[in-house]
Amino acid sequence: MRIDKFLSDCKVATRREAEKAIRRGNVLLDGNIVRRADTPVDPACNTVTYCGETVEYRKYIYVLLNKPDGYVSATEDKNERTVLELLPEEVNKFGVFPCGRLDKNTQGLMLLTNDGDLAHRLLSPRRHVEKVYRFESARPLSAADIDRLTAGVDIGGYVTAPCTVTTDGGTAGVITLCEGKYHQVKLMLNAVDNRVLYLERVRFAFLTPDGLDVGAWRYLRKEEIEKLQEYKV
């Protein structure tokens, strides 16, 4: 890859800024001043320095957010605060978007990335990535309600796929879905004449918000990204 593309992929500089920096002698490849914008770089073995700083090659980024109540899962919204407002410029400059949606008043784990292919694979209805939600219902679910929910209920012209539901015998429960229809958990509980009072996503695939305060975020670790990349449609 050309060194100007390397720098613009990493959002360190635009191609034009990279060219300027090269002309000024501010770009080094393995310690040597680069003279041409089309100088080839191998991110796996070369070290690139831009204005005195070493640049790690990174085109795609993957972030886990513990979404608080009150933020919409969108990249922009005229009236509401979006989840992107919880992330710093160093993340947002990569153009990340939420991989799947949580309602404004749903809390919990959200993956954000600029890797459209991966997001598409993880969200594909054929992929069946597990999503686990903790809920609080208005009334306890009966054994018959649980049987109906696990077998599949009509949520307005669509019958949900089999899933698992457990409760503490009272109003607290956990539901594991392999699909992600709009407002699915709320509509499922409505289908058994109940109502969701609180909803939190506690797992997406193998990822959990453990260790992340509500509103906090972190980069995915290399091994987590590799594991997600193994998901094929």
- Catalytically active residues are 103
Please tell me the distance from the alpha carbon of residue 27 to that of residue 30, in angstroms, as a whole number: 10
Residue nearest to ligand URA (CB): 106
CB of 42 to ligand URA, least distance (A): 42
Per-position x/- string for 155-184, each x denoting binding to ligand URA as judged by CB under 6 A, each - no binding: ----------------------------xx
Report the 10 Å Cβ neighbour count for 13: 21
CB of 85 to ligand URA, least distance (A): 18
Site for ligand URA in 76-135 (CB under 6 A): 102-103, 106
Confirm or reject binding of residue 185 to ligand URA (CB under 6 A): yes
CB of 140 to ligand URA, least distance (A): 19
Number of residues that bind ligand URA (CB under 6 A): 8
Taking CA atoms, 42 is separated from 5, 10, 118, in Å, by 12, 14, 23
What is the contact surface with ligand URA in residues (CB under 6 A)? 102-103, 106, 183-186, 199
